[in-house]
Structure 1
């Protein structure tokens, strides 16, 4: 399994002084809806470990969480897809804003975003039939069982992904997103624009996100 876990130094330190993930401070007062603090003028040096979310991407995700606060009910956890990275490396960050723990998994991008199958996302699209990934903020919605088995619907909150529901852009498990693909091909297969994760890791993703949380996707 290709999973990376990064843990904040201590829960007590987080609860008393706030959490800094990728250089952005997040104050916490409650488990269900942590308050969001502005980035201080002189923030501490950002964490640069490859196991953490890149600072610029994390700042975008936090800004999106704040701007869509009226729609995103649960703000304690979120997921961030770093589509600047290759599909051959873990790039789907499951971030817990309460504990400071980040777990990073593999995730596929759409075939329309990478027509030559280079392993790198080349472009985004919000168009029907594009088979491409879309950037922006998604609201996690209900679960259902479809052609890919158990899946979770996503609602696009931005102009760049507001066709997600109509396009059936969802989270699901797929054989082509299993870690075994890397030893054979050095990259994952491609979806039709969905966030396809390894079959054995789907339950972990569902357990982390649940309903009414943010999934943010970007190439920064």
Structure 2
């Protein structure tokens, strides 16, 4: 159980919800290293051309362990990492079993239409920006809407993605997120800011990560790295 591993990183800290995080704990370097090694071994065993960047994995694990330690996300739910350092023509979403390090899902994911074309390069927390938002999210409830079966997301990082729910940033399926779209246009289609998934996979992914799972959306973006409390322990919200 990951909960047992997390005991090395826990200390006196009262779990708080609804985006009220203050200074974050420091994840155990041993716990993080063990989990990163497990995941890396599984990634290498796939011999995939689509490589999760080391920075995205390191930051994803670090933030996940901190959030799991405070009860902000479930330690037993899959960790989902989206790596926007990759183009939309590549598979850039991974769902990972946080105990075994096994890769549960690996697929394409669309970004917001105003974030860029092939690459997601611009990000926003503003309503009607039609951009993606970076950072850590807690997966919430499912519902049936205009895109069918969908998963609501709550942004955990104030000023970075905490308007996700009011912006209706959700995980859903979309025809423009299918590999056939890439064959025709050289990239995926784009959403209004949602991480949209292939129609053949979105339901299974939603079912595996819903309700208190951890989602991390990464890009090598200086503004995010400076703003994130999860990677700047001396900051407060």
Shared fold per TM-score greater than 0.5: yes
What is the rounded CA distance, in whole Å, between the counterparts of 2:213 and 2:5 in structure 1?
Answer: 15
TM-score by length of 2: 0.72
What is the rounded CA distance, in whole Å, between the counterparts of 1:177 and 1:42 in structure 2?
Answer: 33
2:74, 2:214 within 8 Å by CA — same for their partners in 1? Answer: no
For 1:145, what is the secondary structure of its paired residue?
strand
Quote the offset at 1:62 in angstroms.
Answer: 1.4
User: Structure 1 residue 168 and structure 2 residue 158: aligned?
Assistant: no
* 2:86 alignment counterpart: 85
TM-score by length of 1: 0.77
User: Structure 1 residue 140 and structure 2 residue 139: aligned?
Assistant: yes
* 1:15 alignment counterpart: none
What is the rounded CA distance, in whole Å, between the counterparts of 2:155 and 2:195 in structure 1?
Answer: 13
Structure 1 residues 98 and 68: alpha-carbon distance in aligned structure 2, compared to 1, 3 A threshold: closer
Structure 1 gaps of 5+ residues are 1-29
What is the rounded CA distance, in whole Å, between the counterparts of 1:78 and 1:169 in structure 2?
Answer: 18
**What are the within-5 Å matches in structure 2 for residues 40-189 of structure 1?**
40=30, 49=44, 50-51=49-50, 53-69=52-68, 70-102=71-103, 103-114=105-116, 117=117, 119-159=118-158, 160-189=160-189
What is the rounded CA distance, in whole Å, between the counterparts of 1:42 and 1:95 in structure 2?
Answer: 15
1:74, 1:212 within 8 Å by CA — same for their partners in 2? Answer: no
TM-superposition CA deviations, 1:181-204 (whole Å, max 9, x none): 111112100001101001111122
What is the rounded CA distance, in whole Å, between the counterparts of 1:150 and 1:76 in structure 2?
Answer: 20
What is the rounded CA distance, in whole Å, between the counterparts of 2:188 and 2:91 in structure 1?
Answer: 11
TM-superposition CA deviations, 1:151-175 (whole Å, max 9, x none): 0000000021000011000000000
What is the rounded CA distance, in whole Å, between the counterparts of 2:176 and 2:142 in structure 1?
Answer: 21
Structure 1 residues 182 and 161: alpha-carbon distance in aligned structure 2, compared to 1, 3 A threshold: same
User: Per residue, is there more strand in 1 or in 2?
Assistant: 1
For 1:81, what is the secondary structure of its paired residue?
strand
Quote the offset at 1:208 in angstroms.
Answer: 2.2
1:65, 1:75 within 8 Å by CA — same for their partners in 2? Answer: no
Let me know the Cα RMSD of the aligned residues. 2.4
* 1:21 alignment counterpart: none
* 2:232 alignment counterpart: none
Structure 2 gaps of 5+ residues are 9-27, 221-237
User: Structure 1 residue 35 and structure 2 residue 5: aligned?
Assistant: yes
Structure 1 residues 42 and 195: alpha-carbon distance in aligned structure 2, compared to 1, 3 A threshold: closer
What is the rounded CA distance, in whole Å, between the counterparts of 2:100 and 2:126 in structure 1?
Answer: 37
What is the rounded CA distance, in whole Å, between the counterparts of 1:170 and 1:158 in structure 2?
Answer: 16
